[in-house]
Structure formats: structure tokens, C-alpha cells
């Protein structure tokens, strides 16, 4: 008897020690990562003590953020497991919700947010890892401090009225901007904005192209909030460079704590800042001729596709002279409530869609993603074994398609990979509006899989019959019934809205 209890006790002890060893290991891993990160800070020769401390702080922030995300990820996984019927998905590697935005600046006057790196979510998105998306929002009557980015950008104004000033050597230009304007801002351009409206917020979505990390640089700042990059240099060096005899003058200019990035401006200041603004960026499309630098408005054009169920406005790289360098196309889709766009697929472009208004959902067919084999997305480098397994599966019965599904609301972002069939649906309550950045957009085509222009109807009778194993008539009854093109009445719409909204 005693022997039995002793054995049980020993066993318990053994498990407890295993558990604690695991916990210790986990802590140690994080500790090690932190130490390694902070170690690197210490060995940055150009860092002074203050910068070292800040660097170390950033290491801590980074790890904290990572832990937080892991936690959210776990909770999300549990949630989704309970949620979906039949075809399960634990998470969606193509969907980014409000948790995926990192706030960079949050002030009374405005805010900026950056979407996490695409590969932090899933390795399936490594093809677009050098793209980042950010949101800029300024309150009425504000001026936002001049800064530059180490990245090329394409911007789309989603709301409001303002001016943007672009400064390069010997050149300063100010343009009026409003909803629908597209702007290309070359890397290193010093940019500042004024929201000149009395009521409306000025909102801009930016797509940045940069390998790796991207940063904003403020020169006209102070000690902090924001800090000026001039403070990275010794005062003596600055005094010499500016040819100023008193160091104090330099220290005073850069030594104050500033009032933030978004500053309230007076009527007079706004008048002065905006009075030279030109409205003519150029009439789009710019065929031939010079290279206008200013914005053009997407809504000045006729939609490339439109009917009662939606409209699509597009700026393709070859039509907008500033876009080809980046090979990014920009489009705006307005899907009527209860309606849908697609199914279709893109031949070359990876599409990053940002929801600006409305609610709905998307569905996409993906042969890559298998919820059963995927781990945490952060480390979802698929193992050899998994890839072999997949290849075997493919050998047997062709690829299998996972239904990727995601709810959409303002601020959510989703990615569509090349060749992946996709459909986007608006809820019954409101129109769904999306701004899309199409990466690798040159020569991209949308191949429609339903509707008047669907690609299947171009096949010969024999090809249809052999492929489906039924007479052509039966194929045509399905594929030739829809008379609309691209935008269609959605499933609920057609049945009189009797279905529960999903
Ligand atoms: Cu896929």
C-alpha cells in the first residue's frame, strides 16, 4: 500500500518536474531572445548611452508584442474551432483584422497605423513581404509634421480634403487632395499634410514598397514627440554644419519637447500653407507625354465595370505613368448591398484589399493551406514532411482546395494570391467598399468564372463534355444563365433575403 502511494507520488513529482522544466525552457527561450536582442544594442558602436537604452527598450517591446500576439492567436484558434461548420479553419492566413494594425502615432490630432508584415501571419505571403500597408488619419484643421520614409509609396485618399506638400532639393510642390486621389510618393521625399476641412477627417491609405523594416524620419522635431534625427549627431558637428557659433542655439532648437506630430493650425496658417496648392496633378490616364507628379482622381474616370450590383474603378500601371516603376495598380470596388463580385481570379497580380466601408465577407479557394497541418503562422515554415505529404496527396487525386473565408468590416485587409479563385460579398445592410493595391499588376488580367464573360463558355463543346462528363447543354445551363458581368446579385438577395446573414 505505502509502496503504491510512494510510486504514485514519485510519478506525480516526475510529471511536475517535466512541466516546470517545460515552463522554464519556455521562459529561458524568451530570455535568451531578449538577451540576444539587447546584446546587439550594446554592440552598435554609433549608439550613445541613451540610444542604447532605447534600443534595449525596443527589444522588450518587441518581445512583449510577440507574446501578446501569440496569446491572441491561441484564443483566436480556439474561437474559430467552435465557430465554423463542416470545412474547418483555425485561422485565416489571408485575413488581417484590427489586431493586425500596430499604432505608430496616436494623438488628439490624428493617428498613423501600420499593418503587420505579411509573413508574420503566414509564409504563404512571402511573395509580398516587401509591401506594407499603413493608415493615416488627421483631424480637421491640423498640420502634420514634415517627414520622409525609406520606402516608395502609393497613396489613396479615402476621405476628406487637404493639401500635401512634397519637398526635394530645390523643389517644393503643394497639391490639393480629396477622396479618390491617388498619389505616388518617391522614397526620401519630405512630405507634410494639412487637413483644411472644418469637419471631415483626412484619411489616407498608403502602400509602401520596402525590403524589410520601414521607418519614418522626422527632422523638424525636438527632444521627443517626435524626436528629430538631427539629435543623433553631436552638437559641435551640427553647429559646424550650420555654421552657427553658439552651440546653445542648436541645442535650444532641437532640445525642446515638441507637441506631437499632428498640430492644430490657425485659420491664417492653413490659408498660407494651402494657398499655392495646385489641383491639377494631371488628367488620368496619362498616355505619353510628361510625368505629372501630382495626384489624379480615380473617380474622375468612368468605372471599368459597373451595373446595378457594383462598380469597379481601376488605375493600371501602364495608364498612370507613375505607377509602373512600382508595378502597383490601384482600384476601388463598390459592391452594392446584398450583391457580390466574382468568382474570378487574377492572372499575375497579388491583390491586397483594404475595407474602407461596409461589411461582408470573402471566400477563396486555396490549395496551399491545410488547417490540420498548419502551426502558428509566425513559424509556419512548412516542414519537408508536410510538403512531401502534400505532393503525395496531389499525386493521388489532384490538389484539394480549402475554402478560405473571412468576415470583412472597415479596417480589415485580405490578400488574394495569383490564380486563386475569389468571391467577395457585401452584407444585406450596406455597400462594401474596398481599396485594392494590385502588386505585380502590369499585364494582369481578371479571369471571370461566372457571368456573361465567364471563361468556361469559350471552351469547345467537346472540351466541356469531356471535362464535366455531361452533355454540353447541361454545362451551358449552368454557365450561360447569368446575364450580368462581374457584379452579381448575392445569394441572399436572390432568395429575397430570407436567409440568415452569415
Ligand atoms: Cu493558396
- The model's pLDDT over 99-119, given as tens digits with 9 standing for 90+, comes to 899 999 999 999 999 999 898
User: Residue 147 domain-assigned?
Assistant: yes
| 278 neighbors 175 (Cβ within 8 angstroms) | yes
Spacing of C-alpha 461 from chain mean position: 43
Determine the distance separating the centroid of ligand 1 and the alpha carbon of 124, expressed in angstroms. Answer: 7
User: Residue 201 domain-assigned?
Assistant: yes
What is the number of domains present in the chain? 2
Contacts of residue 128, Cβ cutoff 8 Å, sequence gap at least 6? 118, 350, 352, 415, 439
Write out the residue range of the structural domain in which residue 331 sits.
Answer: 301-379+399-451
Cα end-to-end span (Å), the chain: 60
User: Residue 234 domain-assigned?
Assistant: no
What are the distances in angstroms from CA 126 to CA 122, 187, 469, 487?
Answer: 8, 22, 38, 30
Determine the distance separating the centroid of ligand 1 and the alpha carbon of 388, expressed in angstroms. Answer: 17
Note whether 287 and 307 are same-domain residues: no
Note whether 197 and 315 are same-domain residues: no
Number of H helices, E strands in the chain: 10, 26
Distance CA 16, CA 29 (A): 20
Determine the distance separating the centroid of ligand 1 and the alpha carbon of 90, expressed in angstroms. Answer: 15
**Could you identify the residue written with the cell 485659420?**
267
Note whether 409 and 291 are same-domain residues: no
Q: What are the pLDDT digits (tens) for 33-92?
A: 777 777 777 777 677 777 777 777 777 767 766 766 675 566 555 544 444 433 333 478
Would you call 424 helix, strand, or coil by DSSP?
strand
Phi (first) and psi of residue 289, to 5 degrees: 70, -160
Which of 436, 451, 466 is a domain's end point? Answer: 451
Neighbours of 497 (CB within 10 A): 12
Note whether 267 and 357 are same-domain residues: no
Distance CA 12, CA 96 (A): 43
Residues in the chain: 502
- CATH number for position 447: 2.60.120.10
User: Residue 366 domain-assigned?
Assistant: yes
Determine the distance separating the centroid of ligand 1 and the alpha carbon of 143, expressed in angstroms. Answer: 43
Distance CA 152, CA 139 (A): 25
Note whether 292 and 421 are same-domain residues: no
Note whether 342 and 408 are same-domain residues: yes
Note whether 347 and 424 are same-domain residues: yes
Determine the distance separating the centroid of ligand 1 and the alpha carbon of 402, expressed in angstroms. Answer: 8
Which residues of the chain, if any, have pLDDT below 50? Answer: 1, 19, 22-28, 79-90, 282-291, 373-384, 495-502
User: Residue 8 domain-assigned?
Assistant: no
| 258 neighbors 187 (Cβ within 8 angstroms) | no
Which of 296, 321, 348 is a domain's end point? Answer: 296
Note whether 214 and 306 are same-domain residues: no
Note whether 322 and 438 are same-domain residues: yes
pLDDT for position 53: 73
Determine the distance separating the centroid of ligand 1 and the alpha carbon of 489, expressed in angstroms. Answer: 27
Note whether 310 and 445 are same-domain residues: yes
pLDDT for position 482: 93
Determine the distance separating the centroid of ligand 1 and the alpha carbon of 450, expressed in angstroms. Answer: 20
User: Residue 72 domain-assigned?
Assistant: no
Note whether 410 and 281 are same-domain residues: no
Determine the distance separating the centroid of ligand 1 and the alpha carbon of 355, expressed in angstroms. Answer: 21
Determine the distance separating the centroid of ligand 1 and the alpha carbon of 43, expressed in angstroms. Answer: 42
| 286 neighbors 324 (Cβ within 8 angstroms) | no
pLDDT for position 161: 95
Determine the distance separating the centroid of ligand 1 and the alpha carbon of 73, expressed in angstroms. Answer: 20
Q: Residue 137: which H helix or E strand, with range?
A: strand 131-138
pLDDT for position 58: 75
pLDDT for position 303: 94
User: Residue 121 domain-assigned?
Assistant: yes
Distance CA 202, CA 140 (A): 7
Determine the distance separating the centroid of ligand 1 and the alpha carbon of 416, expressed in angstroms. Answer: 9
Note whether 173 and 291 are same-domain residues: yes
Q: In what order do the strands lie in the sheet with 328-335?
A: 95-96, 413-416, 350-357, 432-439, 328-335, 310-315, 305-307
**Omega cis (within 30) before 120:** no
User: Residue 192 domain-assigned?
Assistant: yes
Determine the distance separating the centroid of ligand 1 and the alpha carbon of 325, expressed in angstroms. Answer: 27
Determine the distance separating the centroid of ligand 1 and the alpha carbon of 369, expressed in angstroms. Answer: 6
Amino acid at each position: 500500500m505505502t509502496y503504491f502511494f510512494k510510486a504514485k507520488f514519485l510519478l506525480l513529482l516526475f510529471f511536475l518536474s517535466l512541466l516546470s522544466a517545460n515552463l522554464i525552457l519556455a521562459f529561458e527561450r524568451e530570455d535568451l531572445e531578449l538577451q540576444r536582442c539587447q546584446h546587439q544594442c550594446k554592440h552598435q558602436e554609433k549608439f550613445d548611452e541613451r540610444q542604447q537604452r532605447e534600443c534595449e527598450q525596443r527589444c522588450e517591446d518587441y518581445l512583449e508584442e510577440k507574446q501578446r500576439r501569440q496569446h491572441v492567436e491561441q484564443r483566436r484558434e480556439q474561437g474559430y474551432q467552435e465557430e465554423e461548420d463542416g470545412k474547418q479553419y483555425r485561422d485565416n492566413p489571408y485575413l488581417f483584422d484590427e489586431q493586425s494594425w500596430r499604432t505608430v502615432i496616436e494623438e488628439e490630432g490624428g493617428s498613423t497605423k501600420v499593418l503587420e508584415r505579411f509573413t508574420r501571419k503566414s509564409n504563404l505571403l512571402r511573395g509580398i513581404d516587401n509591401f506594407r500597408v499603413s493608415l493615416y488619419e488627421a483631424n480637421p484643421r491640423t498640420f502634420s509634421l514634415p517627414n520622409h520614409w525609406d520606402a516608395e509609396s502609393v497613396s489613396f485618399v479615402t476621405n476628406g480634403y487637404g493639401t500635401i506638400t512634397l519637398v526635394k532639393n530645390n523643389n517644393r510642390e503643394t497639391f490639393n487632395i480629396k477622396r479618390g486621389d491617388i498619389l505616388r510618393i518617391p522614397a526620401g521625399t519630405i512630405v507634410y499634410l494639412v487637413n483644411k476641412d472644418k469637419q471631415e477627417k483626412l484619411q489616407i491609405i498608403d502602400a509602401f514598397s520596402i525590403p524589410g523594416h520601414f521607418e519614418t524620419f522626422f527632422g523638424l522635431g525636438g527632444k521627443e514627440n517626435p524626436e528629430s534625427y538631427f539629435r543623433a549627431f553631436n552638437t559641435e558637428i551640427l553647429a559646424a554644419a550650420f555654421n552657427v557659433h553658439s552651440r546653445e542655439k542648436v541645442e535650444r532648437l532641437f532640445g525642446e519637447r515638441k507637441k506631437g506630430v499632428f498640430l492644430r493650425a490657425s485659420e491664417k496658417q492653413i490659408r498660407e500653407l494651402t494657398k499655392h496648392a495646385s489641383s491639377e496633378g494631371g488628367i488620368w490616364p496619362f498616355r505619353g507625354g510628361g510625368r505629372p507628379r501630382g495626384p489624379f482622381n480615380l473617380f474622375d474616370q468612368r468605372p471599368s465595370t459597373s451595373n446595378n450590383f457594383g462598380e469597379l474603378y481601376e488605375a493600371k500601371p501602364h495608364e498612370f505613368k507613375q505607377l509602373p516603376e512600382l508595378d502597383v495598380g490601384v482600384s476601388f470596388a463598390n459592391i452594392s448591398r446584398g450583391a457580390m463580385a466574382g468568382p474570378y481570379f487574377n492572372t499575375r497580380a497579388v491583390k491586397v484589399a483594404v475595407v474602407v466601408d461596409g461589411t461582408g465577407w470573402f471566400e477563396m479557394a486555396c490549395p496551399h493551406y491545410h488547417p490540420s497541418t498548419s502551426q502558428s503562422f509566425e513559424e509556419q515554415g512548412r516542414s519537408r514532411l508536410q510538403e512531401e505529404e502534400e505532393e503525395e496527396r496531389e499525386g493521388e487525386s489532384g490538389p484539394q482546395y480549402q475554402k478560405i473565408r473571412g468576415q470583412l468590416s472597415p479596417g480589415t485587409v485580405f490578400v488574394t494570391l495569383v490564380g486563386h479563385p475569389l468571391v467577395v460579398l457585401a452584407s444585406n445592410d450596406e455597400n462594401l467598399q474596398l481599396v485594392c493595391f494590385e502588386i505585380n499588376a502590369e499585364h494582369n488580367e481578371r479571369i471571370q468564372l461566372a457571368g456573361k464573360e465567364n471563361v468556361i463558355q469559350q471552351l469547345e463543346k467537346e472540351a466541356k463534355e469531356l471535362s464535366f462528363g455531361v452533355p454540353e447543354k447541361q454545362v451551358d445551363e449552368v454557365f450561360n444563365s447569368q446575364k450580368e458581368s462581374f457584379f452579381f446579385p448575392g445569394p441572399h438577395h436572390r432568395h429575397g433575403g430570407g436567409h440568415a446573414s452569415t
